[in-house]
Structure 1
């Protein structure tokens, strides 16, 4: 087994590679990391190909003798790159995959941007049958195009592929920083821009928690997943016969309720909260299909997600770096 991992130096790529190397089920597996701006140290089980998947020759070289692809490489809101990398790069990988005699499975890690995140109102739980609904911007559009392209390759060529659609992926102290009123905020909303500057400074100093309200004035519900739960689903889907040509929602059992977050942090850490109105919509991703087909279960619930982030202590050689803003 030779697994090609694109986006290998990101939080999911690094965690997946470590998990494969530490799992006795895959002790014979070797990994090829396709790296662009950053790289990884090579050893007997890990090799590196440098370059961009937007380059057909790089994609073809990376795919040589590969049995499994885990596709994580993506672009955020970078219109100048998104078509070449997210669309063109995936096309070149899929073309090389379908022409290969060694290729067995193509796994795409998608995102809830493909179904609108919290920008649109849904009448019920978001299952895998919900139609694509990209929110404004090129990133969400690219996530739709990635899923559609892989699904069309199932239809056109019968390849064995699967899509694991994840919401916002957390690790270490990420979740704590999603709630910051300071400049260290991770992702959006950017809370300091939603209150007067003096209030933002005071909230940042006190650790005040933003209690985000949805368009109906209720505490917003938003979907998250911890990186270790996503990676456990990836390992469950790897070579799984019931994963063939399937799309799975991979998320916590319940969405994060900002009201429950505020209550938990007030109770456990004495932090105050401030309500932040919004035009966003609460939603609930349904992960039942992954539980049924893959016998997978997430281990992080709301309390564990919060406490793990607030208890995390960074070592001196582990500075907080955010390669992408969300």
Structure 2
């Protein structure tokens, strides 16, 4: 099918384009600047302005049967509630209305675990948990989900945890870079917490399942690598991938909290149960998390930015 992909030049978008093409679909990348795409995608791209309540979508949606909405502010932490509302909430509503008017049916919305809150019990939560977003970005994502629930489209909501992979950024990349030159004794041997992660290729695969599967319509799903790691286990996995050894001291989570927000995150749990995605859609990760971490450590550049668009799924 012909599929509009917003945020197509982003880290996840590039993998989604690759997987859509490999599955025989016709992806239409929607971007602010086609030059941000790998060369092979530029001729297929449509240019759209900033996402908001007045964005014009008619040309981009011509002949489109489905939408994968990935676009989101790249640095939401520094944006006001009003800007986030315009972009994430009103912008999503505008796109959904335009997609419905253009005759599209399926609408896959990339939300975030932040819509439910980034602190969970040790045992984790599933999609039935009451959302308690802890910041403006999470509240905006949840509000966009609620707007889409009123749409006449076949809406599928996907809530990924932190995403990693070759050339990835974010907090996990900062941890990897820190551990490259970290001292041989580290206060990161915590075992009393659990945190979920998701390889970029696993997220792209889950997105494709949400697009294609009839039973996905009207559902909200978490997606994870299938395991939730303690801070100590995550640190050891990264160190193993780096070929390094270190003594990890089991400092209590309350001790790490003295380091501020980063410390609190490292010491707390943020674990999610994606059984619904696996059982309903028959989905399973395409990348083993150990192999995925090794790939993320070894490749500091994203191969999907290359001229050939990277490997096929």
Is the TM-score greater than 0.5?
yes
Residue in structure 2 matched with residue 294 of structure 1 by the alignment: 281
Distance verdict in 2 for CA 1:208–1:104, change over 3 Å: farther
Deviation at 1:112, TM superposition (A): 0.5
Residue in structure 2 matched with residue 249 of structure 1 by the alignment: 222
**How does 1:264-275 map onto structure 2 within 5 Å?**
264-265=237-238, 269-272=243-246, 273=248, 275=251
Residue in structure 2 matched with residue 31 of structure 1 by the alignment: 27
My pick for the range that moved more, 301-310 or 138-147, is: 301-310
| 1:277 counterpart = 2:256 | yes
Residue in structure 2 matched with residue 63 of structure 1 by the alignment: 61
Residue in structure 1 matched with residue 155 of structure 2 by the alignment: 161
Higher relative contact order (CA 8 A, sep 6+): 2
**How does 1:163-202 map onto structure 2 within 5 Å?**
163-174=157-168, 177-180=173-176
Contact 1:34 1:62 in 2 (8 A): yes
Distance verdict in 2 for CA 1:123–1:170, change over 3 Å: closer
| Secondary structure class of the residue paired with 2:290 | helix
| Secondary structure class of the residue paired with 2:12 | helix
Distance verdict in 2 for CA 1:204–1:292, change over 3 Å: closer
Deviation at 1:63, TM superposition (A): 2.5
Structure 1 CA distance for aligned equivalents of residues 232 and 94 of structure 2: 45
| Secondary structure class of the residue paired with 1:220 | coil
Contact 2:122 2:193 in 1 (8 A): no
| 1:5 counterpart = 2:1 | no
Q: How many residues end up aligned between the 2 structures?
A: 284
**How does 1:28-107 map onto structure 2 within 5 Å?**
29-36=25-32, 39-40=36-37, 41=39, 46-54=44-52, 56-75=54-73, 76-77=76-77, 78-79=79-80, 81-100=83-102, 102-107=103-108
Gaps (5+ residues) in structure 2?
258-263, 307-313
Structure 1 CA distance for aligned equivalents of residues 166 and 277 of structure 2: 24
Structure 2 CA distance for aligned equivalents of residues 94 and 315 of structure 1: 31
Residue in structure 1 matched with residue 231 of structure 2 by the alignment: 258
Structure 1 CA distance for aligned equivalents of residues 290 and 303 of structure 2: 27
| 1:122 counterpart = 2:121 | yes
Deviation at 1:288, TM superposition (A): 0.9
Residue in structure 2 matched with residue 145 of structure 1 by the alignment: 143
Deviation at 1:205, TM superposition (A): 3.2
Structure 1 CA distance for aligned equivalents of residues 240 and 217 of structure 2: 45
The normalised TM-score by structure 1 is 0.76
What do the CA deviations read for 1:144-195 (whole angstroms, capped 9, x no partner)?
1121111232xxx3x211011101111215486231575xxxxxxxxxxxxx
Gaps (5+ residues) in structure 1?
183-202, 320-326
Residue in structure 2 matched with residue 17 of structure 1 by the alignment: 17
Contact 1:169 1:224 in 2 (8 A): yes
Structure 1 CA distance for aligned equivalents of residues 48 and 286 of structure 2: 35
Structure 2 CA distance for aligned equivalents of residues 264 and 105 of structure 1: 38
What do the CA deviations read for 1:11-32 (whole angstroms, capped 9, x no partner)?
1111110111223xx2xx3222
Contact 1:242 1:294 in 2 (8 A): yes
